[in-house]
Amino acid sequence: MKRFATTLAAAFLAASMTICASAQSKTFRLGQWTEIHNSIVRELNRSYVDSLPVDRIMRAGIDAMLAELDPYTVYVPEEENEDFQYMINKTYGGIGAIIYKVVGDGVYINEPYENSAATKYGLRCGDKILAIDGEDTTPMTSKEASEKMKGKPGTSVVFTVQKAHTGEVKDITIVRERIHLPDVEYAGMLDSETGYILQSGFTENVSEEIRSSIVALKEQGMKRLVYDLRGNGGGLLQEAVKIVSLFVPKGTTVVTSKGINNGQEYTYRTPSEPLDTELPLIVLIDGGSASSSEIVIGALQDLDRATVMGSRSYGKGLVQSIRQVMYNGQLKITTAKYYTPSGRCVQAREYGENGDPKFIPDSLAKEFKTAHGRVVKDCGGITPDVELTAHKYSRLAYAMVLGGICDQFSLEYVKKHPQIAALEDFHCDDAMWEEFVAYAMTQKFDYRSSAKTMFDSMRKELAEDGLADSMREQLDALDKALNIEKEQFIRMKKDELVPFIEEEVAIRYYYQRAGVQVRIRYDEQLHQALAEAPAEEQ
């Protein structure tokens, strides 16, 4: 026993010395590199041939250093704190409108928010802002104009406006307000028994928005809920926990976070009594559902509280914390990984020494069990209980939507049409479609089909390999077959483009809620989910 005790003590001492030496080595290397970095900067400042752009190169150095870790660890200097807070809270001081800047021209109101200061003071889509506080907007960039519109709530800003429909020019003084963009973009009834909530983020108090929406929908007769988290990139972890709390008993484990240091583990449980533990629940997800969305989805799936439908989620199982640094800056730093109630981590990517992401192969996924014994896996986001087919859009649709053709057409349409039919009766009729085609024909965009772009790339490769001349006749014939005229191709894709046109136009007259209602009309995944929901969800 004495010999065993001596051996055990020696082993403990050796382990302690190893840990101590490792910590000292880590601290030593950090100090060494800090000294090297400082000496380089001092020498550059002393010897570089031109004036040293200290702010630029130091910021670039910090950003490059953090990029070696993961995409979510970032430095936010004091001058960017306002934008950072907007990302967290979706709140700012201003008039509440999206603007559009035409190069060499003024600034146009593209979309005023519902019940915002802009709307209250009479600004409408299509109105042209000639000057802000007497300063001509023609030479301004969109960012410069936006910054002049923003300001502390309660302060005033004067716009010189040319009204879209009358051409009248007048000054309008607007008192800035606290503008908050809600995370609950839409809450309404799909039919007499099915409620629907679309949530776009997890900023402060969104759980209360969800609670209020559910209460209101139940008063309208809701007997099942479709909770749409598609495209929701996440936000505050605490809000995710509170949302799960609406559907499961108080004290239920929602998520556990585990940090790098031993013992740095925290379990988050539902903090309050639930709103309804029996309400049938369908949760819609896709590849854009990430972070806090995945906490909610993972918990509801692991607890067998909801049917998860859609396509596999993004796979971000990392937790970020905010740390204050010198000179009023902030460091958003990855401090932990999170684990769902079954014990799985949904993180789908590893980050190497250079910060590049590498997908974790499915072969390394481990199996876990839900509350009712169903098998779920980790390492690759969240796989839905029911896979739904996503609509595949053509290259032309992407070009016209992402290129702003549909968006800018709606702006031009509003200028010519003071009103449209009530939303429930509004559709893109033949006259509107012809207006759209005529407008699109005046715009420059890449209207080639996917097949044509692949062909053009192949022909270029053949030419570089010296094979194009020998195949010229066949290539010319295929090129001719694939070369569809611009107007012909637009008309071929009418059914695909009409929903986007209707959505953009509806928003300009009836605000963002109307856009969601139009999307619901054409949402193939949503309609598929309602048709394929398990019997208890019907």
- Residue 355's CATH number: 3.90.226.10
Q: Does 200 qualify as catalytic in the annotation?
A: no
Binned at pLDDT 50, 70 and 90, residue 260 comes out as: low
Q: Are residues 425 and 518 in the same domain?
A: yes
For residue 243, give the nearest of 225, 270, 283, 217 by alpha carbon: 270
**The pLDDT of residue 531 is above 50:** yes
30 pLDDT above the threshold of 90: no
Distance (Å, whole) CA 43 – CA 48: 8
Does residue 354 lie in a domain region?
yes
pLDDT, tens only, 381-402: 999 999 999 889 999 999 999 9
Q: Which of 286, 302, 407, 523 is catalytic?
A: 302
On the question of pLDDT at 29 being above 60, the answer is yes
Residues 351 and 401 in one domain: no
Read off the amino acid at residue 255.
Answer: V
**pLDDT of 39 above 70:** yes
Catalytic pick among 291, 293, 311, 342:
291
The neighbour count for residue 133, using CB atoms within 10 Å, is 12
Average of pLDDT values for 213-240? 97
Position 262 confidence tier, pLDDT thresholds 50, 70, 90: low
**103 and 154 belong to one structural domain:** yes
Q: Is 380 helix (H, G, I), strand (E, B) or coil?
A: coil
Q: Are residues 341 and 202 in the same domain?
A: yes
| Same domain? 412 vs 511 | yes
Same domain? 136 vs 97: yes
Q: Please tell me the total count of domains within the chain.
A: 3
Tens of pLDDT along 280-303?
Answer: 999 999 999 999 999 999 999 999
Which tens digits make up the pLDDT trace of 402-440?
Answer: 999 999 999 999 999 999 999 999 999 999 999 999 999
Domain check: are 289 and 370 in the same one? yes
Query: Does residue 59 sit within a domain?
Result: no
- Answer whether residue 380 is part of any domain: yes
Q: How would residue 8 be classed by pLDDT, with cut points 50, 70 and 90? A: very low
Active site residue 378: no
Co-location of 95 and 110 in the same domain:
yes
Whether residue 319 contacts residue 335, with contact meaning beta carbons closer than 8 Å, is answered with yes
Which residues span the domain enclosing 102? 91-179
Q: Do 175 and 189 have their domain in common? A: no
From the candidates 128, 148, 316, 452, which is the catalytic residue? 316
Eight-class DSSP state of 390: P
Task: Say how far apart CA 82 and CA 487 lie, in whole Å.
Answer: 45
Residue 22 lies in a domain: no
Domain endpoint, select from 150, 179, 208: 179
Amino acid 261: pLDDT: 64
> 19 pLDDT exceeds 70?
no
Query: Is 90 marked active-site?
Result: no
Shared domain for 229 and 309, answered yes or no, is: yes
- Closest C-alpha to 432, from 500, 489, 488: 500
* Residue 261 DSSP label: S
For 12-39, b/e burial (b = at least 16 CB within 10 A) is eeeeeeeeeeeeeeeeeeeeeeeeeeee
What pLDDT score does 447 carry? 86
Position 508 in a domain: yes
In this structure, is residue 438 part of a structural domain? yes
Share the mean pLDDT of the chain. Answer: 90
Looking at 134, 161, 179, which one is the last position of a domain? 179
CATH number at residue 108: 2.30.42.10
**Pairing of β 357-359 and β 349-351:** antiparallel
Q: Are residues 370 and 437 in the same domain?
A: no
In the chain, % of residues over pLDDT 70: 93
DSSP secondary structure, 271-304, as one string: -S--S-SSS-EEEEE-TT--THHHHHHHHHHHTT
In angstroms, rounded to a whole number, what is the distance separating the alpha carbons of residues 501 and 440? 12
**What is the pLDDT at residue 22?**
52
pLDDT score of 4 = 47
Higher pLDDT, 88 or 432: 432
| Nearest by Cα to 316 from 292, 342, 283 | 292
Q: Which of 127, 60, 78, 68 is nearest to 98 (CA)?
A: 127
Is 405 found in the same domain as 346?
A: no
Boundary-marking domain end, from 153, 179, 205: 179
Give percent of the chain with pLDDT exceeding 90.
73
Q: What is the structure's pLDDT at 84?
A: 81
Mean pLDDT of 360-386: 90
Q: Is the pLDDT of residue 352 over 80?
A: no
Q: What is the pLDDT of residues 460-516, one digit of tens each?
A: 888 888 888 888 888 888 877 877 889 999 999 999 999 999 999 999 999 999 999
Phi/psi region, residue 204 (left: phi>0; alpha: psi -120 to 50; beta: rest), is beta
**SS3 at position 257:** strand
Run of H or E including 128: strand 128-132
79-93, 156-170, 227-241, 382-396: least confident range? 79-93
Residues 6+ apart with CB under 8 A from 251: 269, 270
Q: Establish if 43 belongs to a structural domain.
A: no
Q: Is residue 501 assigned to a domain?
A: yes
- What are the tens digits of pLDDT across the range 129-145? 999 999 999 999 999 99
Q: How far apart are CA 145 and CA 164, in angstroms?
A: 19
